[in-house]
Amino acid sequence: MQQVIGSPSRLRGAISLPGDKSISQRAFLLNAIAEGPAHVSNPCVGDDRESILRCLQGLGVSIVPCSRCAVGRTGEECFEIRGRGLNGLEEPADVLDSGNSGTTMRLLAGLLSGQPFLSVLSGDSSLRSRPMDRVVQPLVEMGARIMGRGGDSRAPLAIRGGDLRGISYTLPVASAQVKSCLLIAGLYAAGSSTILQPAASRDHTERLLRAMGADLQEDGLALTISPSSLAPVDVRVPGDISSSAFWLVAACCHPDAEVRIEGVGVNPTRAGVLEVLRSMGAEVRLENVREEGDEPVADIVAQSSELVGTEVAGDIVPQVIDELPVLAVAASVARGTTVIRDAAELRVKESDRIRSTVNGLTALGAIVEERPDGMVVQGVSNLTSGRTASDGDHRIAMAMAVAGLISRGDTVVSGAEAAGVSYPGFWDVLESISESGDRPAVLEAT
Ligand code: S3P
């Protein structure tokens, strides 16, 4: 699908987001091995959700829509997950298809390594090209038998689990997926497992495990988990801050904009996008900050701002990793230079996001230099019309749409359907906040 994005003269509106993808996936997976039923309301939407639900159902877990329950708000979507306990999963009859979802594959690899049966994990061509040795190697060290393509580094992965032993493991990259994979495997291992993180990454797994009564100790960046059964926990998922980033950048970069985004999860290990935007001089404020379940939540108001360049490097990178493509869009129209470093991980996401972002922005007249671990962006006063491509990556499709929204002229985003992986309603929101008059936001979808 190709979308042609115009240049609306004003952006206004209140936006409710789909539920946070990382929290939803963890809430589904951990409740699937809890000792009883639980509800997850306002879950994420899109293809990645279907991927994890399909895989858990393939392991014999019943997950059904629940129309009348008190966990979520009236009218909100909700699922009931019937937890089967740590040892109640069934050997899958077929390959478990993780689709495009790296979180599904890596967290499941940890879970399946604890099961005394054979599972095969696969995914789409993007996921099959992404590195899995980062989970395979420590899981094999714990005693799992895993084979995969490329010297056991790429999916499909065949996993025969069971009889795990605890390990002490230093993560080579600050990855929440790898950390979570090993914490889940640690629930099944004899003895305790300690995971040392080089920097803090999103901590949703830790929050949920604690809420479910797991024996999890934290000492700075070291996490130690011991085998524990899990109590089911109802979760009302807050709005996804990664999805909010597109509207925050659109509002801050547009000359006549104010948007309000309601009920966004602002967990400090995820809120790096707010910190980076503020360092660029963005007019972004939090209102109605509250705690919902085990996660901090707020409404965010963003408006037209005079942005300046910044540096994004070091420990903040894992906390803003998924937002870097759209932050590069903001940098492309900020005054001065923005340097993004220490972000080589972007090269092994759903696409090579350094290459995809640089190509897309360059096509729209931005001045961007590709670096092995990031990029250098020189702000220009305006982006121009041009043709961009999603490279099959949901966040690139949406980042390019935002670039189109703030550019002068019409922007083509090809492969725009990729947005459906995490945010199927993205294009409707884009239209709804555009007070178009003579220049509508979405000109054509083919
Ligand atoms: C995620 C962790 C991040 C992020 C991904 C979701 C998670 O990946 O990029 O979109 O839910 O744990 P890494 O852990 O590989 O950095």
Q: pLDDT tens digits for 352-383? A: 999 999 999 999 999 999 999 999 999 999 99
Q: What is the pTM of this model?
A: 0.97
pLDDT, tens only, 185-239: 999 999 999 999 999 999 999 999 999 999 999 999 999 999 999 999 999 999 9
pLDDT, tens only, 340-360: 999 999 999 999 999 999 999
73-87, 94-108, 130-144, 349-363: range with lowest mean pLDDT: 73-87
Asked whether 244 and 25 are in contact (CB, 8 A), the reply is: no
69-73, 213-217, 270-274: range with lowest mean pLDDT: 69-73
Which DSSP string corresponds to 351-408?
A: S-HHHHHHHHHHHTT-EEEEETTEEEEE--S--EEEEEE-TT-HHHHHHHHHHHHHSE
Catalytic, 373? Answer no
174 CB near ligand 1 (under 6 Å): no
Residue 443 amino acid letter: L
22 CB near ligand 1 (under 6 Å): yes
Give the nearest ligand 1 atom to 202 CA.
12
Give the nearest ligand 1 atom to 322 CA.
9
345 CB near ligand 1 (under 6 Å): yes
Q: Is the pLDDT confidence value at 147 over 90?
A: yes
> 72: pLDDT confidence band, cut at 50, 70 and 90?
low
How many angstroms is it from 201 CA to the middle of ligand 1? 9
Nearest Cα residue to atom 9 of ligand 1: 322
Q: Which of 181, 202, 237 to mutate to test the pocket of ligand 1 (most atoms within 8 A of CB)?
A: 202
242 CB near ligand 1 (under 6 Å): no
Asked whether 360 and 399 are in contact (CB, 8 A), the reply is: yes
Question: Residues 398, 400, 401, CA angle at the centre, nearest 5°?
Answer: 60
pLDDT at 445: 75
pLDDT, tens only, 78-88: 999 999 999 99
Domains of the chain in sequence order: 2-17+239-445 (3.65.10.10), 21-156+164-227 (3.65.10.10)
pLDDT, tens only, 300-341: 999 999 999 999 999 999 999 999 999 999 999 999 999 999
Q: Is the pLDDT confidence value at 438 over 60?
A: no
Catalytic entry in 322, 342, 391, 438: 322
CA gap 8, 228 in Å, rounded: 54
How many angstroms is it from 35 CA to the middle of ligand 1? 27
H-helix or E-strand spanning residue 141 = helix 133-141
176 CB near ligand 1 (under 6 Å): yes
202 CB near ligand 1 (under 6 Å): yes
Nearest Cα residue to atom 16 of ligand 1: 175
Q: What is the dihedral of CA 350, 356, 360, 363, to 10 degrees?
A: -150
Give the nearest ligand 1 atom to 348 CA.
15
